[in-house]
Amino acid sequence: MNSDYTINPLGDHSLIIEWSQEISSVVHDKVMNVYNHLLTMQLPYILDIIPAYASLTIVYDILLVRREQNNNAFTTIQSLIAPALTAPVVHMEKSSRLLEIPVCYDPSFGLDLAMMAAQKGMSEAEIINLHTSKIYTVYMLGFLPGFPYMGKVDDRIAMPRQKKPRLHIPAGSVGIAGGQTGIYPLASPGGWNIIGQTPVKMFDPALDSPCYCHPGDEVKFVPISLDEFHKMI
């Protein structure tokens, strides 16, 4: 077992590599380094590679491995991915995108903005300013197709999830949960604290690349007025 990460089976046709379980750019850089190495290697049997905050899930074709290798599939895949795990961190030219995502923080969209301001003892404008003053890393996609988990928000506006989730959160809603911020790509139940909404379509299955954000992207929120929001729809 490596002191920096662990590898374990995840069901019968996937495995998970886990680093220190924390929201950290240092840890995520390790995840993305292995992810990028594996993409470059184009290994046989690998069906999908899924990065998260501090882990990497590898899905493989167990039937094909058994048919061609006549071996334990988990052991075979471990052997194949070993070079990516032992490779040094490659400081390649930055490939991540900086996405400027417009957000309207009007009270009609910021369902929890007033509550957050009251709890934090600050104005709504201060919360908006703190939310838009940082550049966030997209650590992973999950929960819903194209839902970007981003972090970290300023500690002053970190908020626990709602104790009672709403049954309907509109698509495009921007929320905060703990030290994370995210965007609902589809209408859905949810327990994040909603502070605004973007007119940008975060998930479109008709596109070759249906998710607007990808792990490793950087996001800057840009405040817009209600009129600007409606013009951009």
CA nearest neighbour of 143 among 53, 39, 12, 19: 53
Burial bucket for residue 148 (CB in 10 Å: 0-12, 13-18, 19+): buried
Same domain? 82 vs 110? no
Same domain? 50 vs 105? no
Same domain? 81 vs 40? yes
Same domain? 51 vs 115? no
pTM here is 0.86
Last residue of a domain, one of 86, 111, 144: 86
Same domain? 57 vs 128? no
How is residue 15 written in tokens? 């495995």
CA distance 186 to 215: 19
Last residue of a domain, one of 86, 120, 141: 86
- Close Cβ partners of 13 (under 8 Å, ≥ 6 residues apart): 59, 60, 61, 62, 73
How is residue 47 written in tokens? 């069906």
Same domain? 225 vs 151? yes
| Confidence at residue 196, expressed as pLDDT on a 0 to 100 scale | 98
Same domain? 43 vs 141? no
Same domain? 130 vs 178? yes
Residue 193 lies inside a defined structural domain of this protein: yes
Burial bucket for residue 60 (CB in 10 Å: 0-12, 13-18, 19+): buried
| Confidence at residue 25, expressed as pLDDT on a 0 to 100 scale | 86
Q: Domain containing 10: what range?
A: 6-86
Residue by residue, pLDDT tens for the chain (233 residues) are: 466 899 999 999 999 999 999 888 889 989 999 999 999 999 999 999 999 999 999 999 999 999 998 889 999 999 999 999 988 776 544 556 999 999 999 999 999 999 999 999 999 999 999 999 999 999 999 999 999 999 999 999 999 999 999 999 999 999 999 999 999 999 999 999 999 999 999 999 999 999 999 999 999 999 999 999 999 98
Number of compact structural domains in the chain:
2
Same domain? 37 vs 130? no
Residue 1 lies inside a defined structural domain of this protein: no
How is residue 20 written in tokens? 């220190």
Write phi, then psi, for 70 (nearest 5 degrees).
50, 45
Same domain? 121 vs 224? yes
Angle between helices 73-86 and 25-41 (to 10 degrees): 110
| Confidence at residue 90, expressed as pLDDT on a 0 to 100 scale | 62
Burial bucket for residue 209 (CB in 10 Å: 0-12, 13-18, 19+): exposed
Same domain? 47 vs 81? yes
CATH of the domain at 53: 3.30.1360.40
